[in-house]
């Protein structure tokens, strides 16, 4: 769309997140930020998530607002019989790629034909929803991608192809998962000095060259090269070396995080949580001493074995600290998460359990002193912005990459071994809350919190990058290539 057209009518941004829960929130924050800057926004959920949102947030939750509307397209997966669980990520990725392009094209055509409505001027697709990028390009609509991972995670995915070409991946056999091979140093990825194979997003840990996620995420990262811009929910100071490396690879990289700071406050009632939030935990937190509470949340996708759940439970029981633990119904693989009755009795009055909670409010609460996390990027960035140190138990995808940066680069966390034991949980909680390492982590966490605040203030890097992004979206075809 030309700048002349932009002056005459409201710009119309269509945003489409990946249906996996972790990707929904930052895209919604970006949608609200664009709406605050005068854009008409259409936010496109999957039909599955559309139903989940209506159930968790109420029948009027997707009514939208002036200039902000919700639409939905099918993801192509068969009915699950249970609309309250996280879908299989690999199946979801393959299905949306195969089945969502045609209905998305129909949706764009319908939006453009709506009487009195502004035509679609740009599409912003999640980085692993490149079918939407291709549809927009075919229809002559400006297309950008939003990688909701960390910048270091995106750079890791971007080097899957080179890791395969150089013979690091696939693994020779499953012994490579245990024999020290994953400790191999990778010294040739620009912007990531000191990285090891185990710190690359976990989909490289396969013996199968045809592994779905190895090829899908690696391919989607390469597809970003065809977009007119790449948006990242990070701030320059936090990942400077990585961002500099990406800017040498892509003509337009917009680091606009933490995006929550730019969201339109008038749209606070519009939320993206797929589980109903339990806000009663905030009252409980208010009765705890400052910095005393261990907050535990493994995100929306992580699943664990019953034995691992039990080890975390008894570790929390043994550490003697008050805790708030979010236990999703589907946290345990293949069954409903059930905690030992003895644990519940032993910790009564000291710990509370919730099925979901308003995480940003929890992390910013003065009583929270430590976050036991899976190191998903949303959780990691929210913890950094709240100045809360982390105990990291990465599960999959780019979580090991984030964990490496949290612990070794930013100095605000410590890692729990994958084969978690209750004794290790107790030891690390004590060290993080009371030890010298914990004191150093808290100092660094507060410093990164302040740098995040500076990034979104007037003159800050993220504020200026968001302004640049808006200028580019308004200029469209008239923008320099």
Residues catalogued as catalytic: 23, 126
Determine contact, residues 16/132, Cβ cutoff 8 Å: yes
Determine contact, residues 72/190, Cβ cutoff 8 Å: no
Tokens for 84, please give them: 């309250």
Residue closest to 14 by CA, chosen among 114, 147, 136, 139? 136
Can you spell out the DSSP letters for 236-267?
TTTTHHHHHHHHHH-S-EEE--SGGGGS-GGG
Helices and strands in the chain: count of H runs, count of E runs: 19, 15
Burial of residue 219 (number of CB atoms within 10 Å: 0-12, 13-18, 19+): middle
> Residue by residue, what is the 3-state secondary structure of 182-244?
HHCEECCCCCCCCEEHHHCCHHHCCCCCCCHHHHHHHHHHHHHHHCCCEEECCCCCCCHHHHH
Between CA 239 and CA 151 the distance in angstroms is 7
Between CA 366 and CA 446 the distance in angstroms is 13
Residue closest to 172 by CA, chosen among 212, 206, 216, 219? 206
Tokens for 276, please give them: 């109903």
Query: Does the N-terminal peptide bond of residue 258 adopt cis geometry, omega within 30 degrees of 0?
Result: yes
Residues 100-113, buried b or exposed e (16+ Cβ, 10 A)?
Answer: bbebbbebbeebee
**Strand pairing partners for 186?**
195
Most distant CA atoms of the chain, gap in Å: 69
Q: Are strands 195-196 and 185-186 parallel, antiparallel or unpaired?
A: antiparallel
Determine contact, residues 189/155, Cβ cutoff 8 Å: yes
Between CA 130 and CA 18 the distance in angstroms is 10
Which H helix or E strand runs over 61? none
Tokens for 421, please give them: 């034991």
Query: Does the N-terminal peptide bond of residue 233 adopt cis geometry, omega within 30 degrees of 0?
Result: no
Determine contact, residues 284/350, Cβ cutoff 8 Å: no
Between CA 25 and CA 272 the distance in angstroms is 6
């Amino acid at each position: 769309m030309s700048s002349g057209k932009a002056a005459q009518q409201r710009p119309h941004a269509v945003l489409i997140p990946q249906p996996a829960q972790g990707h929904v929130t930052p895209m919604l924050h970006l949608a609200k930020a664009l709406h605050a800057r005068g854009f008409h926004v259409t936010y496109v959920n999957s039909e599955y998530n559309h139903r989940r949102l209506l159930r968790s947030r109420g029948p009027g939750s997707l009514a939208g607002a002036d200039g902000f509307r919700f639409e939905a397209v099918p993801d192509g997966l068969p009915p699950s019989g249970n609309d309250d669980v996280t879908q299989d990520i690999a199946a979801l990725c393959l299905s949306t790629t195969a089945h969502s392009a045609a209905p998305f094209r129909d949706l764009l055509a319908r939006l453009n034909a709506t009487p009195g409505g502004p035509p679609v001027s740009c599409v912003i697709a999640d980085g692993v929803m490149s079918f939407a990028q291709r549809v927009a390009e075919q229809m002559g609509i400006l297309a950008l991608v939003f990688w909701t991972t960390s910048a270091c995670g995106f750079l890791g995915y971007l080097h899957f192809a080179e890791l395969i070409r150089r013979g690091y991946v696939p693994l020779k056999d499953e012994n490579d998962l245990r024999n020290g091979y994953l400790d191999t140093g990778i010294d040739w990825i620009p912007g990531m000095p000191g990285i090891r194979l185990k710190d690359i997003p976990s989909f490289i840990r396969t013996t199968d060259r045809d592994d779905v996620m190895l090829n899908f995420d690696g391919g989607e990262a390469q597809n970003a090269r065809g977009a007119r811009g790449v948006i990242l929910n990070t701030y320059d100071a936090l990942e400077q070396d990585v961002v500099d490396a990406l800017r040498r690879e892509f003509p337009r990289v917009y680091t606009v995080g933490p995006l929550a700071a730019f969201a339109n406050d008038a749209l606070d009632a519009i939320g993206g949580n797929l589980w109903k939030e339990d806000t009663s935990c905030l009252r409980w937190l208010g009765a705890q001493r400052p910095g005393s509470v261990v907050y535990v949340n493994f995100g929306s996708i992580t699943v664990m074995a019953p034995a691992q759940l039990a080890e975390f439970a008894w570790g929390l029981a043994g550490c003697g600290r008050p805790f708030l633990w979010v236990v999703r119904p589907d946290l345990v693989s293949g069954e409903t998460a059930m905690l030992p009755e003895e644990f519940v009795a032993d910790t009564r009055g000291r710990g509370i359990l919730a099925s979901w909670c308003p995480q940003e409010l929890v992390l910013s609460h003065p009583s929270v002193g430590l976050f036991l996390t899976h190191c998903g990027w949303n959780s990691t960035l929210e913890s950094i912005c709240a100045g809360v140190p982390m105990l990291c138990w990465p599960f999959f995808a780019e979580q090991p990459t984030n964990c490496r940066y949290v612990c070794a680069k930013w100095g605000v966390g410590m890692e729990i071994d994958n084969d978690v034991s209750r004794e290790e949980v107790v030891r690390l909680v004590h060290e993080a809350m009371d030890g010298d390492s914990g004191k150093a982590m808290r100092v660094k966490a507060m410093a990164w919190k302040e740098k995040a605040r500076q990034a979104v203030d007037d003159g800050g890097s993220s504020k200026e990058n968001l302004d640049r992004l808006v200028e580019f979206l308004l200029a469209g075809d008239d923008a320099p290539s």
